[in-house]
Amino acid sequence: MIDRKMQSVLSLKSKKAGAVATITLRQQLAYKTDFIMRSTFLLLILFVFVQLWSSAYEGDRTRIIDGYTLKQIIWYLVFTEAITMGVPSLCSLIENEVKNGDIAIRLIRPISYVGYHYAAYLAEAVFRFFIHLAVGSIIAWTFVGPPSFGWGWAGLFSLTLGAISIAFLLNMVVALCAFWVEETRGMEFVLHKLQFTVGGMLLPLDLMPEWLQRICSWLPFQAMLYFPARTAVNYGSASLLQQAAIQAGWIAVLAVCTVMMYRKGVAKLHVNGG
Amino acid sequence: MSTVALQTHGLSKSFAVKRKAAGLSGSLRSLWHPQWEEKVAVKRIDLKVDRGERVAFLGPNGAGKSTTIKMLTGILHPTSGEAEVLGLTPWRERTKLAFRIGAVFGQKSQLWYHLPPIDTFDLISRIYELKRSEYLARRADLIDRFELGPYLDIPVRKLSLGERMRCEIAVSFLHRPQLLFLDEPTIGLDVVVKQRIRELVLEANRVEGTTVFLTSHDAGDMEELCSRAVVIHHGGILLDAPVDRLKREVLSRKIISLTLSSSFEAGTLPDLPGTELMESEGRRLKLAVDLKQTGIESVVSALIGKFRLDDMTVEDPPMEEIITHIYGSGG
């Protein structure tokens, strides 16, 4: 009886989340110019990376540096860039909602505020991830050849979902500070730079000094970019299950932080504009 | 079922506002020694609204109208006091209450900007857990009543403000709210659209028994839509009275703005009791008419007979003037 009631509640919640995701996707299709700009920028930065890493490898495609060939490094960057550029800017969104009072429109609905943003974030991030993956693949395929990663693809897609969820929660924790402080952009800037460096966006963590690798292993950022990209290009170098478990652990910890911050913040909320 | 739609006791809300002196030095000082000031937005409001009532919650900008609505809808938590809306405490049972109330914020859109309104209707039907058949029937009814057919498939960004507001209000009716909060629903709209929106809200109240709680600083909204007016100023209740009484005692003045075809010459105004020249500049002049002394028709006829007119509008006095008048007459 309780199970059936629980199932019905979950079904209703997933239908709501599905509806939010669908409308977010439809709205995304209106931003064609934004997509073209981002994709052109992605092509440009990946081209620069190809040139840089080709110099580092001295054009030798058989050379291996810390377990990575040139082809693996370039495809690794395609995957990390696709995730990084795929995730929307949650901090600006929440900050604007609080500043211009649009949060009122969200809070009068019978839907969780965080849940609403998660559904929208996931839809937008997954959609953009695939677009950027396709665009990035053009560069990588042209310069270093096709991605023959076998099971690595399964690893990439399964860990990307967890990676996007961690990105959402980390950004949400920072974004919710907008309930207390006027500006969150500074904190968002620091968060993004941590993702770029200790998250493994610019280079795999295996290429970093060992002491830094040890620090990174205790941080959530590696589970966002390094895990899915490393697994894609080097499947089997680490247990997929173990990485998924670490992601689940961080999701649990960050979800608790998010819920606590939201509960505290919403009670203090001051909606601007009346 | 209780006959009370909402009730508040000593409902108050204060905010801490940061004070900053002008200039760079002021900004730097504020970094090291931030100065906070308590701003009272709503001050001990006691209010009771029965089901099916149409209440206008009036006041000038910054009076605390929107803050009160946001507390009653559960968006804001009060600093002190209590409130019960449809038997629920809004800020503690926000989600539960959301199923039973509707809200329209005139300056905030709930429609998805790049998509046609029909997409927002679909989303809202899911969020409010409406059965598909029930939703489709309700949507068809609202499209018919609000005459939305021609706009449903046009992206919201391409709609006029009036078309958009009709969609906004129709969306808020989708889940059959028992209590509808309208926060400045006619702001920025022209006279014809304002009138249509008032008619639609009145119809919902008549047909479905929806309780209407409206904030506005347009006296016309109160006159045509509501049976009771609560006026607040500086966060506290200044007056709670039937609209009919207010009309007799306070809204007996109309403002006539004229644009003449040639310059206005002093002393040429027809001598009508209760009519007073408020201001004049070139071809434009503004008159105040006390309807207790002279009917509006007589004034308009006299003006048309005396001057050649390019334009003329008849308006209610601004809310600030009404408040001043209420203050002057001791509430």
A179 occurs within a structural domain: yes
User: For residue B126, what pLDDT is reported?
Assistant: 94
Mean pLDDT of A172-198: 90
Residue A28's closest chain B neighbor by CA?
Answer: B114
A197 occurs within a structural domain: yes
Range list of H helices, chain A: 2-28, 32-56, 70-86, 90-100, 103-107, 113-144, 152-175, 185-197, 210-216, 226-233, 240-268
| ipTM of predicted assembly, 2 dp | 0.85
Where does the pLDDT of residue B88 fall: very low under 50, low under 70, confident under 90, or very high at 90 and above? very high
Whether residue B80 sits in one domain with residue B191: yes
Mean pLDDT of A110-134: 95
Q: Do B74 and A108 touch (CB under 8 A)?
A: yes
B21 occurs within a structural domain: no
Q: Tens of pLDDT along A47-100?
A: 999 999 999 988 888 888 888 999 999 999 999 999 999 999 999 999 999 888
CB proximity under 8 Å: B 112-171 to A: 112-115, 119-120, 122-123, 126-129, 155
Whether residue B270 sits in one domain with residue B239: no
How far is A41 from chain B, CA to nearest CA, in Å? 24
User: For residue A128, what pLDDT is reported?
Assistant: 93
**What is the DSSP code string of B197-219?**
HHHHHHHHHHHH--EEEEEES-H
Where does the pLDDT of residue B331 fall: very low under 50, low under 70, confident under 90, or very high at 90 and above? very low
Q: Which helix (H) or strand (E) holds B304?
A: helix B296-306
Whether residue B224 sits in one domain with residue B116: yes
> Cα–Cα distance between B173 and B103 in angstroms, integer?
9
Q: Tens of pLDDT along B194-233?
A: 888 888 889 889 998 999 999 887 778 888 899 999 988 8
B37 occurs within a structural domain: no
Please answer whether residues A15 and A32 qualify as being in contact, where contact means their C-beta atoms are separated by less than 8 angstroms. no
Whether residue B244 sits in one domain with residue B294: no
**What is the DSSP code string of B126-183?**
HHTT--HHHHHHHHHHHHHHTT-GGGTTS-GGGS-HHHHHHHHHHHHHTT--SEEEEE
User: For residue A85, what pLDDT is reported?
Assistant: 92
CATH for B130: 3.40.50.300
User: For residue B243, what pLDDT is reported?
Assistant: 86
**What is the DSSP code string of B223-258?**
HHH-SEEEEEETTEEEEEEEHHHHHHHTS-EEEEEE
Predicted confidence (pLDDT) at residue B321 exceeds the cutoff of 80:
no
B15, B91, B113: residue with CB nearest A270: B15
Domain that holds residue B294: 253-315
| Least trusted range by pLDDT, from A233-247, B44-58, B105-119, B315-329 | B315-329
Whether residue B265 sits in one domain with residue B228: no
How far is B275 from chain A, CA to nearest CA, in Å? 36
Q: Do A110 and B99 touch (CB under 8 A)?
A: yes
Please answer whether residues B156 and B188 qualify as being in contact, where contact means their C-beta atoms are separated by less than 8 angstroms. no
Predicted confidence (pLDDT) at residue A268 exceeds the cutoff of 60:
yes
CATH for B267: 3.30.70
How far is B210 from chain A, CA to nearest CA, in Å? 17
Q: Do A108 and B98 touch (CB under 8 A)?
A: yes
A196 occurs within a structural domain: yes
How far is A21 from chain B, CA to nearest CA, in Å? 10
Whether residue B265 sits in one domain with residue B136: no
B77 interfaces chain A, CB cutoff of 8 Å: yes
Where does the pLDDT of residue A161 fall: very low under 50, low under 70, confident under 90, or very high at 90 and above? very high
Whether residue B261 sits in one domain with residue B164: no
B101 interfaces chain A, CB cutoff of 8 Å: yes
Residue A101's closest chain B neighbor by CA?
Answer: B108
